[in-house]
Amino acid sequence: MAIFPGAIATDVDLYLVSNNLGTVLTAGIDAVVTTIPVVSTTGFPTTGWITIEQEAIQYTGITGTSFTGCTRGAGGTVAAAHLIGLAVKQTVVAAHHNSLKDETKAIEQFIADVLGLTTAVTASEFEFINGVTSNIQTQLNLKAPLASPTFTGTVTIPTPFTLGATSVTASGAEMNFLVGVTSSLQTQLNAKAPLASPTFSGTVTSTGPILSTDATANSITAQASVNGTNPRIRAVNTNGTSGQNRTSIISAVGDNNNVEVSIQAGKDSSNNNIELVGGTTKLSLGFGGTEYARVVAAGLTFPDHAVQGIVGTNTNNNALAGNVGQYIESTVIGQSVGTSGQYEDVTSISLTAGDWDISAMIQFNANGATVTNDTFGISSTSGNSSAGLIGGVNSGVWVLPNSTTGTIQTWTIPAVRVSLAGTTTYYIKSFKQYSVATPQVGARISARRVR
């Protein structure tokens, strides 16, 4: 019975033989003994077959002068008694051939089972396996079928390639421009206007200026409307002829409107108006009888006599962050002061880049403590530090030699200008010298953006 494919056959399974190998009996033996004495077992394998006269004997071990574990009358022969001095030979018996035959058949059947062979495979066909480095089925499973393949990742194709009967020469980068197209390109192109002398139909809407000319009045009217955040519009209306009327209207809808308008009116013009509308806020400026009237975003300058008023908010809302009028405040009430003899940060506000006016108010309550010194001010330096405090500018000192308990004192610092290039935190600083009990403090620090 074959060892393969359950295991790999060894020399013991397939038997080893040598030419002209033999020895002789050193004693007579009967037909049943399983240890056979000989002159020497040199050259014989540790397991195998021997023959004495017509009997084949299989053995499983040897010593220097005997074969052990013998099966008498093996391989279909008849066990018999043998005399001393008879030859003991290693000859090829049927078992050798049959073992090789069984293993060969087992190998062939295994190959056929693995490959699914139902017909004979030629040597040339087996040669196709040469160079395969991993499981063939695993590799095949990673390939796409010719019929309706589904690819993943980035597919690279040669250029040019044939699509149907057409040779396509477009590069991959050019073909990427087709991504996102939802209908016929030619149909979409046919629905667009040319740059040169376009003819429009229906209602024309533009996010930029639309210029029209009036030959009879020799005038140009510029109209623009922009929706969104931070819209910017510029309109220029100029005329050098006396008596001509000019009206420019600009409407900007959205948050944080930034509208630039420039108008130069004709001399002695009596109807030059600029109207800026942003959300709920409206700025109207009218000019008449002036040689040159100008409104520009940078500084919003105009002659004093032409001012009709810049309207502020008409409800209880707040200026948007970054806008002129933005207000920031921080307050504390009844807060215990810090360690005696050290500066502390009572409260703080964070200001973004811009021009600000900062003011502060602080109320000190001895709260049963004996207080000898109280200093406070505004500074951008935190912690136990007096850096940035300037007496009479942004700080003050209250000296109370051996003050009695129960004292309440209130201080204010009027607006102090700070001009910031970046976000900066400002603190109400407080310095106390006290004993017996812990004083308390209430404070407010606030800032208004000037520009």
Query: Minimal CA–CA distance to 377: which of 397, 357, 354?
Result: 397
Q: How far apart are CA 307 and CA 299, in angstroms?
A: 14
How does residue 177 score in pLDDT terms, banded at 50, 70 and 90? confident
Pairing of strands 327-336, 440-449: antiparallel
* pLDDT score of 63: 97
* Angular region, 233: left φ>0, alpha ψ -120 to 50, beta rest: beta
Q: Does residue 1 register a pLDDT over 70? A: no
* pLDDT score of 159: 75
Distance of CA 309 to the CA centre of its chain: 52
Q: How far apart are CA 145 and CA 248, in angstroms?
A: 69
* pLDDT score of 107: 78
* pLDDT score of 179: 83
Greatest mean pLDDT range, 1-15, 102-116, 135-149? 135-149
Q: How far apart are CA 429 and CA 376, in angstroms?
A: 5
Query: Minimal CA–CA distance to 406: which of 443, 440, 432?
Result: 440
- Say which residue the tokens 């993943």 belong to: 152
How does residue 79 score in pLDDT terms, banded at 50, 70 and 90? very high
Q: How far apart are CA 387 and CA 395, in angstroms?
A: 11
Q: DSSP for 99-141, please give it.
A: HHHHHHHHHHHHHHHHHT-SS---HHHHHTTTT--S-HHHHHH
How does residue 312 score in pLDDT terms, banded at 50, 70 and 90? confident
Q: Is the pTM of this model over 0.85?
A: no
pLDDT in tens, 400-447: 555 554 578 888 899 999 999 999 999 999 988 888 899 999 999 999
Q: What is the CATH number that goes with domain 327-449?
A: 2.60.120.760
Contact 431, 350 (CB under 8 A): no
Contact 271, 257 (CB under 8 A): no
Q: Which residues contact 14 (CB under 8 A, 6 or more apart)?
A: 96, 99, 100, 103
How does residue 60 score in pLDDT terms, banded at 50, 70 and 90? very high
Q: How far apart are CA 422 and CA 420, in angstroms?
A: 5
pLDDT in tens, 246-301: 444 444 444 444 444 444 444 344 444 444 444 433 444 444 433 333 343 334 44
* pLDDT score of 174: 75
Q: Does residue 139 register a pLDDT over 50? A: yes
- Say which residue the tokens 């024309």 belong to: 204
Q: Which of 1-15, 129-143, 180-194 has the lowest mean pLDDT?
A: 1-15
Distance of CA 341 to the CA centre of its chain: 51
Q: How far apart are CA 379 and CA 418, in angstroms?
A: 11
What is the percent of the chain where pLDDT is above 90?
34
Q: How far apart are CA 308 and CA 272, in angstroms?
A: 13
Q: What are phi and psi of 406, to 5 degrees?
A: 90, 0
* pLDDT score of 361: 93
Strands (E), 44-192: 48-52, 55-59, 61-62, 66-68, 87-89, 161-163, 166-168
